Amino acid sequence: MRLAIFQNTMDIQTPTWVKHAVFYQIFPDRFSSSQQTRKRLLKSPTWEKWDAPPTLQGYKGGDLWGVIERLNYLQDLGITAIYFTPIFQSTSNHRYHTHDYYQVDPLLGGNHAFRELLDRAHQRNIKIVLDGVFNHVSRGFFFFNDILENGPHSPWLNWFKIQGWPLSAYDGELPANYEGWDNNRALPVFNHENPDVREYIMEVAEYWIKEGIDGWRLDVPFEITVPGFWQEFRDRVKAINPEAYIVGEIWGNARQWLDGTQFDGVMNYLFTGPTLAFTAGDRVQMKYVLGPSYEPYPPLLAQAYAAKVQALLGLYPWEIQLTQLNLLASHDTARLLTIAGVEDGTTLEESQTCVELATLLLFTFPGAPSIYYGDEVGLLGGIDPDSRRGFPPEARWDRNLLSYHRQLIALRNSSPALQTGSYLPLYAQGNVYIFARILGTEKFIIAVNVGTSTEQVVCTVPQEILPLRSLVWCFGNAQVSWADTDGSQQLTLTLHPRKGSILRVEFNNIG
């Protein structure tokens, strides 16, 4: 259990700011609708009611002006980076059906609103990362629409994978005769073998980096298998901004993309699954997790969780580990509280402890933690589209959960060791998992008890943490003592049920 993860010697460069960032993922249609008078294309829009259950096609009217009006909230929470799901012009509330990569959707306020948001966010030292959907487009994308209008006479034929005529773009009674993502004819797939397509995508990526965005989150990048594509993407983006963040949506082992020549990190579902399986255990509602491929089941005890963590930390170079995008939920999963059983008989208090334990592990793990909008105030939601509910009004916020997040974020933001320190497992037995984060003289011990009874554990203090002079609880509380035994120091912790705690190791230098 005394395996430390230290800096990898490979010559890999990743963005420095990401290693210290706290991300907040925003689904733009559902986070905030501007309350101020703005110039809008639609004077009297018909929106789906904000508090009504979300539907596959309904819009609720969230916009980028609304995000601007909530920047105070995000800054007070401690957020230093925002990842937006797609914002470009589209005919879907989620905007993964791109019409125009150069135009922010007018329902969100258009390019003008985005540039104002970018400026306001940067004034607060908040970074902005956009979702790049470069594998497929929508039927309304001009180049594909030209094919629908002109058939084999269109000059854009080789931009897509056409298999026959006439194109069956809307008639579900006929088989689709062009390639659509996931066999969905609404999402024509680009022909990435075409050099013109490749150049077009590269220029889109460069354009928005030049406009000032701080990175790209890449949707289903594993679908683009043309040799050298992602290497060129990285080279061209980094030539403009070497600190731009490139993060891919890869749910499993991502080693082939994390070699230092392509992505800086991935959405780290390999952390998500085991962490939920450990902290929620048999409380996980299987009907909400069987679809997505991150598997927060079967329940894990501490020893099995420790093994998963060590395998994950051994998977990629350390420089990459520090720029992984760690998360507990996203627009593609159910909400944390719902996964933990709030709607199926588990009491709210029990589900809250699952969220709290998982969140503590999130903010003490190497990599950049990411909060899915609303999770910090107890927003519920099942699988898509239910996980994309409107951000709740303040009267319905879970204040205790919000305070819990604020404390952890503040601690992480002020503690270099929790951001980039080495990770050292100390104890993993039964329901108790204990580890340390170490950077120079700053040292933390993190202890989690996922069981329903008080646990007293004794573990040997490794050389990396010695000498102990005092231990200060900086989050949570428990009983702690230590003593010299047979030439080594033994740490005794008495941990409350379903609680996690963080201690700072303090010692006096002796001249």
Q: Which sequence positions are flagged as catalytic? A: 219, 249
How far is Cα 16 from Cα 19, in angstroms, rounded to an integer? 6
Angle at 508 between CA 506 and CA 511, to 5 degrees: 155
- Strand 455-460 and strand 470-475: pairing? unpaired
Q: Is 30 left (phi over 0), alpha (psi -120 to 50) or beta?
A: alpha
Q: Is-contact 470 452, C-beta < 8 A?
A: no
How far is Cα 10 from Cα 62, in angstroms, rounded to an integer? 44
DSSP label at 5? B
3-class secondary structure, 88: strand
As a 3-state breakdown, the chain gives helix, strand, coil percent values, each rounded to 5, of: 35, 20, 45
Burial of 71 (0-12, 13-18, 19+ CB in 10 A): middle
Q: Is-contact 118 109, C-beta < 8 A?
A: no
Q: How far is CA 111 from the centre of its chain?
A: 25
Nearest to 335 by CA among 362, 295, 374, 282: 374
Question: Distance of CA 167 to CAs 90, 164, 289, 345, Å?
Answer: 21, 7, 36, 50
The amino acid present at 214, given as its one-letter code, is D
Torsion of CA 491, 495, 498, 499, to 10 degrees: -80
DSSP label at 190? B
How far is Cα 467 from Cα 489, in angstroms, rounded to an integer? 9
Reply yes or no: is the peptide bond before residue 298 cis, omega within 30 of 0: yes
Question: Distance of CA 490 to CAs 244, 306, 431, 487, 505, Å?
Answer: 45, 21, 20, 10, 14
What tokens does 354 get?
Answer: 């699952």
